[in-house]
Structure 1
Amino acid sequence: MTRMTILCAAAMAVALPWTAAHAQDGSADADPTAAPLECGRTYTTQPGDYLASIAERAYGHASGYHILYQYNPGTLGSPSRLEAGIDLWVPCLGGEGVPEANLPPLAEATSDDIRIVTGADYAPYVDAGLPNGGFSFELVERALQTGNAADYRIDVIKDWGSHLQTLLADGAYDLAFPWFKPDCSQLDRLGADSLWRCENLRFSEPLHEVVITFYGAAGTETALTTYESLKGRTLCRPEGYFTFDLEGEGLTPPAIVRVAGDSPSDCFERLAAGEVDVVTLNADTAESVVRRLGIGDQVSELIDLATVQTLHVVGMRTDPQTRINLLRINKGLIELRRTGVYQDVAARHL
């Protein structure tokens, strides 16, 4: 495990189909009795398959759809057009069948030639209390150690707001992770922070493909099915979270009222109390918060509005070493996926 110093700092979006009833022909009479799927194996997609229907068959509930994204990076394109013939790994939930021996040990970092910064309190991706620092943390380490000496240092700085336009821009660090990549083809619709990322950062290959979902009060799922239907409503996304996906859909003030909650829990508590109309954040966190708060009967996922975004390692365009450093990480990520190590790491963290 690399040396992990904890410091105090001063200072793809596509509509997802969810059930067989969302077939492309609009039919609602698709067969609901499809045979169960065995987890822990590769499934080759068939005509008429959708991620939610595959999750339903494998886990007994459609909410496992986002797990399929996490375990199959670079495999799935637009889930609204899930093609037949895709080899899709269907993991068992809870990390079943993935012995620790499958994963080679991590080496101790030997120098700080590459200085990297990450944050905390962002499970399952980074946090000091998670195995090997979290899903993203372990992937970055393993990518850097693929065929190379461990000549890097990763520091954890809890103030996420200081990472990019202060620490990275000023040259205190060479790379930072994990950061979402805006849709830089929509520059005219992006806010200042999103524009800055497009104009100043280089991005690695995706570390993760993350489902960003929306929740409303129970019973609103039939009314809130388009982005247009959200206009005029109050949306809660936690303070510090990205907003470029909302910007791309025109979901910015004054079209909506934006509430920056103190935390994911704060947003969901506001939703349950009727103080906001919609909560939007990543599906992993949303599912765990709803379960922990025990409000599953009070809220409903607005599954037609979910999008897929990607998390990356980033570096400054002005730094000539950024290309070299990201190339090394990209090569490592490709090797982790080729050998199946990526899936084993995923099983540890998801």
Structure 2
Amino acid sequence: MQKQFGLNARGCLVLAQLLGGVALSASVLATTPAAAQEECTSYTVVRGDTLSLIAKRGNVAGGFQAIFSANSNTLDNPNIVQVGQVLQIPCRDGSLPNAAAAQESAAAAAPTPVPVTSTPSRPLRIATGSGYAPFTDEDMADGGALTKMVRRAVAEGNPDQEFSISFVNDWGAHLDSLVPSGAIDMTFPWFKPDCSKVEFLSEASAYRCTGFNHSEPLYDALVGYYTLNGSAYADATTYQDIMGARICRPEAWFTFDLEAEQLMPPNVELVRPVPQDGCWQLLLDGEVDIVTLDALPAEEDYRELGLEDQVANIEALASKQTMHVFVAKDNVFANEALQIVNAGLEDLRLSGEWFEIVRSGILETVDN
């Protein structure tokens, strides 16, 4: 399953920090042109800001992923912030500042949703799998945060739609046979490649685009790129700048984002050790130039290894990867039902329930 998603137990613990323990140092932020900030407030972007710098100045747990996740409704790209833009800094308990007022404002500004009212012809069959806490796991309350989210989205999108969610722990079978054959209608949560670059993808990665349609995002994750301070790649601003590099990505992680940017052999040397922390030792030993994986476990890894003063974050290369519900393109019923999921997800985001579902799942993982 890790091969499909690329998130280990450590990554989940860091994600728990993201939503459960963010704090700002007002004294540090007061040295910037912006007004002094405290946790559970908003921050106004000034010239020269990046998400990483804001997180570093404020000692934000979870780094730039924390700020990005808290502002995913307004930030499309982790590398682009605008002067004067107001960012929400999560409270210590993971909630958002002035959440009720912000949700009312967003709801008022949003177009009136078109309810999905078509009469369902049969129950909807949905599958997920275990072992991906806090997102999907049979042993968690409600089956994990994203299981609860999908359940609530269907109920919100069309209360008349009957459905079941089953745990099928052979993850590979979901996209290989169960969804294509119609044995199940939907599966989640799966990362979707950049389907506008399908010509650069491997056959397996391209199949996620050519064989399936996808819901609106359930969750956004950031993938970071890291090198040693003083490296020739530390100031890279485009993927073209790292062509020819020796790049390390752990064996358990997907590669479709690298494929889309043509960061695959022979353009680069790709090293894929089995242990996740193996990349960092290879970087220190000079055997690779760049480490790339999900920013949450990556930054936790190099901090645990005491490498903060040696590792440079190549901020301009960070990318957003999104998790979705997948349906087979030739399953007419499932594609109609996908509208229900999307309508429900929109309702959950406007009401603030989306954030609360994720936060409660994270907290359960920490408590256990």
- TM-score bracket relative to the smaller structure: 0.7 to 0.9
**Are the aligned partners of 1:71 and 1:346 in contact in 2 as well (CA < 8 Å)?**
no
Structure 1 residues 74 and 232, CA gap change in structure 2 (3 angstroms) = same
Secondary structure in 2 aligned to 1:250? coil
User: Partner amino acid for 2:51?
Assistant: L
Q: Does 1:198 align with 2:209?
A: yes
* TM-score, normalised relative to structure 1: 0.74
Q: Deviations over 1:296-332 (max 9, x none)?
A: 4453322221111221111101101222221111111
Query: Which AA in structure 2 matches 1:51?
Result: L
Give 2:264's aligned residue.
Answer: 252
Partner residue, 1:319: 331
SS of 1:185's equivalent in the other structure is: helix
**Amino acid paired to 1:239:** E
CA distance in 1, matches of 2:279, 2:182: 35
Q: Provide the aligned C-alpha RMSD in A.
A: 3.2
How far is the alpha carbon of 1:232 from its aligned partner?
2.5
Q: Which has the higher helix share?
A: 2
Tell me how far apart the structure 1 counterparts of residues 287 and 92 of structure 2 sit (CA, whole Å): 34
Please name the residue that 1:208 is paired with.
219
Deviation at 1:88, TM superposition (A): 3.7
Within a 5 Å distance, the mapping from 1:32-43 to structure 2 comes to: 32=32, 34-42=34-42
Distance (Å, rounded) in 2 between the aligned partners of 1:234 and 1:323: 41
Report the alpha carbon displacement of residue 245 of structure 1 after superposing the two structures with TM. Answer: 1.8
Quick one: which of 102, 106, 113 aligns to 2:123? Answer: 113
Shift in Å, 1:197: 1.6
Give the match for residue 139 of structure 1: 149
2:178 maps to 1:167: yes
1:181 aligns with 2:192: yes
Q: How many residues align?
A: 306
Partner of 1:243: 255
- Offset of residue 193 of structure 1: 1.9
- Once the two structures are TM-superposed, the CA of residue 166 in structure 1 deviates from its matched residue by 2.4
- TM norm structure 2: 0.70
Match of 1:277 in 2: 289
Q: 1:63 to 1:284 in 2, by over 3 A?
A: closer
1:309 correspondence with 2:325 = no
What are the superposed Cα offsets for residues 144-171 of structure 1, whole Å, 9 maximum, x if unpaired?
A: 2326278433333444333212222222
User: 2:227 touches 2:283 (CA, 8 Å); kept in 1?
Assistant: yes
| CA distance in 1: counterparts of 2:280 and 2:138, whole angstroms | 25
What does residue 51 of structure 2 align with?
Answer: 51
Bigger shift: residues 246-255 or 164-173: 164-173
Distance 2:81 2:221 in 1: 17
Partner secondary structure for residue 153 of structure 1: strand
2:91 aligned residue:
92
What CA distance in whole angstroms lies between the structure 1 residues aligned with 2:300 and 2:351?
Answer: 30
| Residue identity in the other structure for 1:38 | E
Q: 3-state DSSP class of the match of 2:74?
A: coil
Partner in structure 2 of residue 71 of structure 1: 70
Q: For 1:148, what is the secondary structure of its paired residue? A: coil
Whether contact under 8 Å (2:95, 2:356) holds in the other structure is no
Alignment partners' CA distance in 2, 1:340 and 1:97:
9
Who is 2:28 aligned against?
none
Give a deviation string over 1:117-155, Cα, whole Å, max 9, x none.
324444543345655443323322222232627843333
Q: How far 1:345 moved relative to its partner?
A: 2.4
